[in-house]
Amino acid sequence: MIEALDPQARRYAAAGVVALAWLAFSGLIAARQALRRRAERRAAATLAQGSGAPVLVAFASQTGFAEQLARATAQALTTAGAPVILRPLSTVTAADLAGADQALFVVSTTGEGDAPDSARAFLRDVMGAASDLSALRHGVLALGDRDYARFAAFGRTLNAWLAAQGATPLFDRIEVDDGDPDALALWRSRLADLTGAAQAADWNRPTCGPWTLTGRRLLNPGGAGGEAWHVRLEPADGVLDWVAGDLFEVVPDGAAAARDYSIASVPSDGGVELIVRLRHGPDGKPGLGSGALCRQAAIGDTVSARVRTNRAFHAPDTDAPMILIGAGTGLAGLRAHLKARAAQGRSRNWLLFGERTAAPDDFHRDEIEGWTASGVIARLDLVFSRDQSERLYVQHRLRAAAEAVRAWVADGATILVCGSREGMSQAVDAALVDILGADGLAALTDAGRYRRDVY
Ligand SMILES: Cc1cc2nc3c(=O)[nH]c(=O)nc-3n(C[C@H](O)[C@H](O)[C@H](O)COP(=O)(O)OP(=O)(O)OC[C@H]3O[C@@H](n4cnc5c(N)ncnc54)[C@H](O)[C@@H]3O)c2cc1C
Ligand SMILES: Cc1cc2nc3c(=O)[nH]c(=O)nc-3n(C[C@H](O)[C@H](O)[C@H](O)COP(=O)(O)O)c2cc1C
């Protein structure tokens, strides 16, 4: 019909068709948005009225923040009168999700866009299969840090998987960049919308307190790999409360974010001890955290800090053997565990520690020799990468000792790894896959017998 018109009329007609198509398309989008808003309102209203079914609050955390936020979430819902089940994601099955009415997920991302170690089984077994979750309504709080290339990757993947299984979002996924208080406030306001209760009080990271620097010693005078300092701090309030595996969070003056350090001591030592590598920025200036601890702060000065629970790196409470693997400042976390094991009289410990050169990088040599003599360390492998012509690292020693690793694991050993992620833990992980098989290492992770504090 358009061909029968003169060129002018044809142009008008074509423009009309385009305008109509555009109107239809916009209408479709508006209708979809309205439908989604209605579904969200209905989902929220059901919770506010109390459908009776408990809300599942599931968390996956590597260094404890997601767990802390999940607990606060559960507390806020409970206070508002909503029944809650709080569970680590590692214990949640597909059947749990299919049977739940509402679920809130608080999950972090670690490594290079990876799920926390404790959530690997969920990722493999539950997210690796299809489920009918059309009866589930969900919310996701995805923790991460935009400094990493794959920001909040696990939360995003989880959210996409839930949608693909037919679950309905209670609200849009909320992403938290390095503890961003605005994102946390948004989550709290979403919880308040859901329950109809007033918004829970602010839950920014817990406050720090003053800790006094009481000791500092250079562990590697003249070392080629950068100064490593043994640093000791005592709390002004005298409260010494942590377990081996926990972290010390320092807020340096002028820094927007806190810095984590693995605690190298146990409370009976009377203070927190750390092993800190002095870092320098591209401008040659010392790093804010390591510079404060290793240089600027004088003995007797205070720094603002707190102890942070790090359940992913706690030891299982068992007499079974322990393989402790680390390099450089990673000795810190292993030292706390060795001290705890010594105090518990648990002696089947194998320490594999790597540094550059025996002199001067043999951090805490006297102590390690003492533990070896007294039997706390049953097997010791010190690997100094530059003390021979070929470069040797802990992962090489591990591979060479494959038979013994398998025997220790068969005997129930837990493997702890502490220290640099790129330089060490990835290579150790690859060696363990070769030694134990991918399934063997996955089974060990699922059983909580492969625990890491890597950075
Ligand atoms: C879970 C965890 C445990 C940690 N435990 C320890 C520990 O026991 N001992 C310890 O010394 N550090 C540890 N760190 C690292 C520590 O938190 C700081 O990142 C480090 O001290 C640098 O902070 P800064 O403020 O001194 O440097 P910034 O001012 O943040 O940066 C200064 C310079 O250092 C570089 N830099 C920062 N971090 C690293 C790094 N890891 N490797 C190489 N270059 C870096 C930066 O690119 C920059 O050029 C841990 C980190 C995490 C996440
Ligand atoms: C070793 C390490 C690796 C990390 N990798 C990522 C990452 O790949 N992507 C991201 O968004 N955040 C990453 N983060 C930031 C964490 O997700 C963020 O600090 C989060 O708040 C930690 O929560 P958690 O304590 O519950 O594990 C990483 C943090 C650490 C310490």
* Residue 13 CA, ligand 2 centroid: distance in Å: 57
Per DSSP, the three-state class of 90 is helix
- Please enumerate in sequence order all residues whose Cβ is within 8 A of that of 297, keeping only pairs 6 or more positions apart, or say none: 213, 303
Distance between CA atoms of 230 and 194, rounded to whole angstroms? 49
Superfamily of domain 209-309: Translation factors (2.40.30.10)
Q: Are 177 and 145 in contact (CB under 8 A)?
A: yes
* pLDDT tens, position by position, 254-312: 888 899 999 999 999 999 999 999 999 999 999 999 999 999 999 999 999 999 989 88
Among protein residues, the one with the nearest Cα to ligand 2's atom 29 is 110
Among protein residues, the one with the nearest Cα to ligand 1's atom 38 is 279
Among protein residues, the one with the nearest Cα to ligand 2's atom 18 is 144
Q: Could you tell me the fold of the domain covering 50-195?
A: Rossmann fold (3.40.50)
Residue carrying structure tokens 């009225």: 49
Mutate which of 290, 310, 314 to test ligand 1's pocket (most atoms within 8 Å of Cβ)?
Answer: 290
Residue closest to 102 by CA, chosen among 148, 32, 142, 51: 51
* Residue 261 CA, ligand 2 centroid: distance in Å: 15
Distance between CA atoms of 351 and 368, rounded to whole angstroms? 9
φ, ψ for residue 344, nearest 5 deg? -85, -5
* pLDDT tens, position by position, 297-324: 999 999 999 999 898 899 999 999 999 9
Among the residues of 50-152, which ranges form H helices?
65-79, 94-99, 120-121
Do 209-309 and 312-454 have matching folds? no
Pick the CATH number of 312-454 from 3.40.50.80, 3.40.50.800, 3.40.1280.10, 1.10.530.10: 3.40.50.80
345 torsion bin: left (phi>0), alpha (psi -120 to 50), beta (else): left
The DSSP 8-state label assigned to residue 109 in this structure reads: -
Residue 200: other Cβ atoms inside 10 A: 20
Mutate which of 279, 296, 311, 417 to test ligand 1's pocket (most atoms within 8 Å of Cβ)?
Answer: 279
* Residue 22: predicted pLDDT: 65
* pLDDT tens, position by position, 25-72: 666 556 556 555 555 554 554 454 456 789 999 999 998 899 999 999
Q: What is the pTM of this model?
A: 0.83
Mutate which of 109, 242, 261, 331 to test ligand 1's pocket (most atoms within 8 Å of Cβ)?
Answer: 261
Residue closest to 193 by CA, chosen among 346, 42, 34, 359: 42
Distance between CA atoms of 165 and 25, rounded to whole angstroms? 27
Residue closest to 142 by CA, chosen among 183, 102, 188, 107: 107
Give the start-to-end residue ranges of the domains of the chain: 2-42, 50-195, 209-309, 312-454
* pLDDT tens, position by position, 58-113: 999 998 899 999 999 999 999 999 999 999 999 999 999 999 999 999 999 998 89
Ligand 2 atom closest to 62 (CA) = 27
Residue closest to 88 by CA, chosen among 74, 111, 70, 113: 70
Q: Give Cα 297 to chain centroid, integer Å.
A: 29
